[in-house]
Amino acid sequence: MRTYLESVDLDTILDSANSCESTTSLLEQIIKTGLDHVMPLRTRRVHSTEPPWITSSLKDLIQKQQSALSRGDDRKLREFRNRVNRELKMCRANYYQAKVGHLKKCKPSEWWNEVKKLSGCPLASTVQSDTLKSIQLPCEGIDQIGLANIINEAFLTPMHCFTPLPAAFPCTTSRNYHENPLVVSVESLRMKLSKLNPYKANGPDNIPGWLLKEHADILAGPVSDILNYSYLDRCLPSSWKHADVIPMPKLKPVREVNKHLGPISLTPILSKMSEKYVADTYVKPALLERIDPQQFGAVPNSSTTHALISVLHSWLESTDGNGATARVMLFDFCKAFDLIDHHVLAQKLSS
């Protein structure tokens, strides 16, 4: 993939675009074309009970052994049986040396992941793929399309009482921003791309995180130009506004879609990076100036431990030596983030 990206003159091709939208579309098309030709998708059969050290060469030998058994060829059967045993020992030794041996000195989580593979326990990806199977609704005879429509309607229910923001929403910006808009340097973006989690799920643009991480030195320049054009025009590329919404079960089995399922939005990785620059430069400093000092969630350098210490100190201070008691009332807002009025939020941010 690196050879392909180095052979493409990205600067010349992207300079021919006349807008941020077209530049983003060209870059996505170039990356997708490379992935389709260099690393095309292929179908591979995987059995859930198959040991992780099984290789394709070992499978071929096992098939030849079974074929010799079905033909009744004793000589070939003994030959392939011996070759299968030798190959099996070699595959086990190679797997242990490459995947397991070094885990004794690494993080315990990685060790237990390999232990689960060896013991045949289901991994997180397998558990997530069985989400539809865990849904048990009272009405029977619903196909997957009907079930998807039910889940979509449940996720969209909180938004029925809201009207979307118009395209020409009156948002006031400071004069300083017009004179000095946010500018992202190539080196800053290269550092952020090189620190991406390669296993992070991508969005609808199908640009994986490992590709952005491994080729950060090549893609940092074009992506930084797109971000700077976007900040200058105050307009996000349309492909960065789309998201894949994944239903995640809060408990199993799922009997009520509204209560037991929650939406997880997977936006493009570059879109998240664009949001992070804006949040770190403008939103976070503005919020930290006005945020309540007793709030500990979503605040840098704070945690639930600080919240518990603060609450416990307040209780002990109020009840120390006076015989008083402390009464606590806890609130849990249902779909709190979904019920935020976007008009009110946009007006507060603009002010």
Does residue 265 contact residue 243 with C-beta atoms inside 8 Å? yes
Q: Which residue has the tokens 């849990």?
A: 332
Q: At what angle do helices 186-194 and 216-233 cross, to 10 degrees?
A: 120
Q: Retrieve residue 291's tokens.
A: 């945020």
Confidence of residue 291 (pLDDT cuts 50, 70, 90): confident
Of the ranges 73-82, 112-121, 132-141, 175-184, the best mean pLDDT one: 73-82
The predicted pLDDT at position 19 comes to 87
Among the listed ranges 8-17, 36-45, 156-165, which one has the minimum average pLDDT value? Answer: 156-165
Higher-confidence residue: 117 or 19? 19
> Strand pairing partners for 249?
261
**Better pLDDT: 32 or 145:** 32
Q: How confident is the model at residue 119 (pLDDT cuts 50, 70, 90)?
A: low
Q: What token pair was written down for 274?
A: 């664009």
Question: Which residues 6+ apart lie within 8 Å of 307 measured at CB?
Answer: 296, 297
Paired strand residues for 248: 262
**How high is the mean pLDDT of the chain?**
83
Which residue from 264, 282, 286 is spatially nearest to 274, judged by alpha carbons? 282
pLDDT band for position 169 (cuts 50, 70, 90): low
Residue 299 has pLDDT above 90, yes or no: no
Measured CA to CA, the distance from residue 218 to residue 183 in angstroms comes to: 19
Banded pLDDT at 137 (limits 50, 70, 90): low
pLDDT given at position 103:
72
Check whether 154 has a pLDDT greater than 70. yes
- Which amino acid, 1? M
Among 69, 65, 67, 96, residue whose Cα is nearest residue 83: 65
Chain position carrying tokens 């789309």: 242
Note the pLDDT of residue 274: 92
Q: Which residues contact 170 (CB under 8 A, 6 or more apart)?
A: 350
User: At residue 130, does pLDDT exceed 60?
Assistant: no
C-alpha 113/C-alpha 17 separation (Å) is 46
pLDDT band (50, 70, 90) for residue 211: very high
Q: What is the pLDDT of residue 180?
A: 75
Distances (CA, A) of 207 to 10, 91, 329: 16, 33, 46
How confident is the model over 42-50, as a mean pLDDT? 72
- For residue 41, which amino acid is it? L
Say if residue 161's pLDDT is above 70. Answer: yes
Measuring CA to CA, which residue among 299, 282, 300, 271 is closest to residue 350?
282
User: Model-level pTM greater than 0.85?
Assistant: no
Band (pLDDT 50/70/90 cuts) for residue 46 is: low
- Please list the helix, strand and coil fractions of the chain in percent, rounded to the nearest 5, in that order: 60, 5, 35
Say which residue, 216 or 261, is predicted with more confidence. 216
Neighbouring CB atoms inside 10 A of 74's CB total 10
Query: What pLDDT is attached to residue 275?
Result: 92
